[in-house]
Amino acid sequence: MLELKNVSFSADGKEILKNINLVIEDNKFVVMTGPNGSGKSTLAKIIAGLQKPDSGQILLDGQDITHWGITKRANSGISFAFQQPVRFKGVTVKDLITLASGKKMNTIAVCQYLSEVGLCAKDYIDREINGSLSGGELKRIEIATVMARRTKLTVFDEPEAGIDLWSFKNLIDVFEKMHQEVKGSILIISHQERILDIADQVVVISGGQVSQVGTKEKVLPGLFGVDLGCKYFKGV
């Protein structure tokens, strides 16, 4: 179980997150949504250790991990899929998935992860993760990478960004399968209704605060009435 207690974060004199309190229960599929700039990605980075909160506490299975670095958190069972995947000259798809799994992997095992994200394994396994791959391809490789880690908490930051419509259905299947097989918690930052639809719990972040938490049945109907904190916004 992951627990955030009164987590706050500021950057360049601006308050990005204000006293966030949130619990991600074991084996739950949680989708975090909210307007652009509301602090969702920052919160995901704080969970993975990429950003340090100014105040507050982060607990993983009751253990205080607030001051743990990225590596220690990763080795304790937290995975993070970047919104904008990183490129590496010389590092191949197989290298990265093997590193992610933490063990020696044969080609067949690597291919399985690639196939699940809709990539033809033989075309990609030896490709370098460089500028020759499109944004959508990189995104799918990023998802395959975190799938290979099979950790108790996986955080995806807008996994649908850059994924074409044809692949989007597969993506939903990937998340559902991962949820069933790994038996871990999944936290996805997303704006997509179809991803929100498969959530056990929906968290709405607005203006750096948790504005709603609940089942999709409870949260989704009122979602579009969220006050975006903008005086020009009249609602829809």
Partner 1 sequence: MLSDIIKNLLSEVAGIQNIPTSGAFNIRNNGKSAGSSSTKNIQIIPKTDGSGIDIYIKPGTKNESVHIPALVTDTNMHDVVYNDFHIGEDAEVTIVAGCGIHNCGSGISQHDGIHRFFVGKNAIMKYIEKHIGEGDGEGQNIINPQTHIFAEENSYVEMDTVQLKGVDSTKRISSAKLATGATVVIKEKIMTHGSQYAETSFDVELDGEGSSAKLISRSVARDSSRQLFRSKLCGNNACYGHSECDAIIMDHGIVAAEPEIIANNVDATLIHEAAIGKIAGEQLTKLMTLGLTEKEAEAQIINGFLK
* Contact string 18-37 vs partner 1 (x = CB under 8 A): --------------------
* Contact residue for partner 1 among 14, 89, 103, 234 (CB under 8 A): 89
Residue 149 lies near partner 1 (rule: CB under 8 A)? yes
Which tokens is 178 given?
A: 């991962």
Choosing from 33, 42, 145, 206, the residue that interacts with partner 1 (CB under 8 A) is 145
What's the distance, CA 229 to chain centroid? Answer: 25
11 near partner 1, rule: CB under 8 A: no
CB-based contacts of 222, cutoff 8 Å, min separation 6: 212
> Residue 61 corresponds to which amino acid?
D
What 3-state class would DSSP assign to 90? coil
What is the Cα–Cα distance from 106 to 111, expressed in whole angstroms? 9
User: What tokens appear for 51 in the block?
Assistant: 């950003």
> Is 185 one of the binding residues for partner 1 (CB under 8 A)?
no
CB of 146 to partner 1, least distance (A): 9
Total residues interacting with partner 1, rule: CB under 8 A: 24
Report residue 100 as tokens: 């992610």
Residues that bind partner 1 (CB under 8 A): 48, 50, 69-71, 74-75, 79-80, 82, 85-86, 88-92, 95-96, 99-100, 102, 145, 149
